[in-house]
Amino acid sequence: MERLAKVDHVLLDKTGTLTSGRPTIGEITVTKGRRRDTAIRLAGGLEVASSHPYALAVGDLLESEDLKPTSVQDLKDVHAGVEGRVRGDLVGLYRPDRLPSGVTLEGELASALVVSSKAGHGASVLVRGEECIALFTFVHDDGRSGSDEVVKDLYARGVNVEILSGDLQSAVDQFAARVGMPSKAAHGELTPEDKVRFVEQRSSTHVTMMVGDGFNDAGALAKADVGVAVGTGEQVNLEAADVLIPGDDPRLITTLIFLARSANRTLWANLLFSIGVTVILVFAVINNWYDNLWIGVLVHEMSVIVVILNGARLAGSDGWWDLIKGTFSGLIGDTRESIALFSSRFRSSS
């Protein structure tokens, strides 16, 4: 909570955090001599075990076209992609700028990538052996409701904001402009390792909060001063994060920081008030201002009530009264139980 109150730099993952995380398949361009359905089935086989938003989009396409994924062996995640083997051939689905050594994007696939990039869409290249056989483009989802508000509120509270994303830089720039962020604060085409290094760099000069929801954010979440997982998350993500925000409202990020700062101020106010009351009571006794114990007890207990009421303000206008009722109901109940216990023991002893 103390670190949360000091956060002055927030790093936001884009897909799944500021957006719904469910892009859809746009255009699928295949090279001459290749079949579209075969390319889709192969891409589905590569992404079958992944929960990345692009993988989910490929899975949705398979289901909508009633296709079954190709069986792919030796599946493994690689630098900005996934690869495996089919009948001995190396196959993979990669980010266009992270193709394996010796593999180049040419002809109609290269042209399709240019069009996709200008439109701000994401893209993945399907490779078999040393040949690019298809380009899948992904139409990025709209921002979640409140995405622009969370950026505006963070700026208003004096918090720096940056986007870290594995998507193409053009797509990240376009999204940043929509939510009111300058292009210099939008960083695309980052690998999970790049995100970790970026967070480490920012953490050396700021108190950082990293917010993400995907498997690839786990390392960055762990490196930030405060790691926040949003949505349902994945197990590795939840283990790396300090805070879980259930649901899909990004505005809870600013609520979290506001609550932490308010709690910190309230804590110090209550602490100073309690110390002040104690000092006054001790000073009053030393100077013989009163000699009745009940007066000191009454003043002390009244100060406790003031502290409780001040702390209850953190619950907000909606929960303040319920919290007060619950607190005092508990106190009354405990008092009754204590009196009943004392009475029963007194009767038994007599």
Burial of 88 (0-12, 13-18, 19+ CB in 10 A): exposed
Contact 40, 28 (CB under 8 A): yes
CATH number at residue 179: 3.40.50.1000
How many distinct helices (H) and strands (E) make up the chain? 12, 12
**275 falls within a domain:** yes
**1 falls within a domain:** no
Which of 70, 21, 79, 24 has its CA nearest to residue 48? Answer: 70
Which amino acid type is present at position 22? R
Q: Are residues 37 and 83 in the same domain?
A: yes
- pLDDT on residue 215: 64
Q: Which string of b and e fits 73-83 if b means at least 16 CB within 10 Å?
A: eebeeeebbbb
Helix, coil or strand: residue 25: strand
Residue at a domain's end among 137, 154, 176: 137
CA distances (Å), origin 251, targets 88, 105, 221: 49, 40, 19
Which of 26, 58, 25, 42 has its CA nearest to residue 132? Answer: 42
Which residue's entry shows tokens 């399907």?
126
**13 falls within a domain:** no
Residue at a domain's end among 121, 137, 153: 137
Residue partners of 74: CB distance under 8 A and separation at least 6: 84, 85
**9 falls within a domain:** no
Rounded to 5°, angle at Cα 309 from 308 and 310: 90
Q: Are residues 267 and 325 in the same domain?
A: yes
**73 falls within a domain:** yes
**187 falls within a domain:** yes
Q: Are residues 112 and 168 in the same domain?
A: no
CATH number at residue 82: 3.40.1110.10
Beta strand 131-139 with 122-128 is antiparallel
Residue at a domain's end among 254, 279, 299: 254
CA distances (Å), origin 51, targets 55, 77, 175, 249, 288: 6, 12, 22, 20, 72
| Active site (annotated) includes residue 13 | yes
Helix, coil or strand: residue 13: strand
Domain extent for 213? 142-254
Q: Are residues 150 and 224 in the same domain?
A: yes
**98 falls within a domain:** yes
**5 falls within a domain:** no
Q: Which of 13, 153, 167, 248 is catalytic?
A: 13
Q: Are residues 247 and 169 in the same domain?
A: yes
Helix, coil or strand: residue 150: helix
Q: Are residues 113 and 184 in the same domain?
A: no
Residue partners of 97: CB distance under 8 A and separation at least 6: 80, 189
Q: Are residues 128 and 94 in the same domain?
A: yes
Q: Are residues 175 and 220 in the same domain?
A: yes
| Strands across the sheet containing 9-13 | 186-187, 160-164, 9-13, 208-212, 226-230, 243-245
Query: Mean pLDDT for each consecutive 10-residue tract of the chain (350 residues)?
Result: 90 83 86 94 92 86 94 88 92 91 91 86 91 91 80 93 87 87 91 92 94 79 90 60 83 89 89 90 81 76 81 70 74 78 71
- pLDDT on residue 35: 94
Q: What is the dihedral of CA 199, 203, 204, 206, to 10 degrees?
A: 140
pTM confidence score = 0.63
Q: Are residues 27 and 132 in the same domain?
A: yes
Sign of CA dihedral 103, 69, 65, 213: negative
Q: Are residues 227 and 247 in the same domain?
A: yes
Number of structural domains the chain divides into: 3
Q: Are residues 157 and 111 in the same domain?
A: no
Contact 65, 37 (CB under 8 A): yes
Q: Are residues 218 and 114 in the same domain?
A: no
Contact 101, 118 (CB under 8 A): no
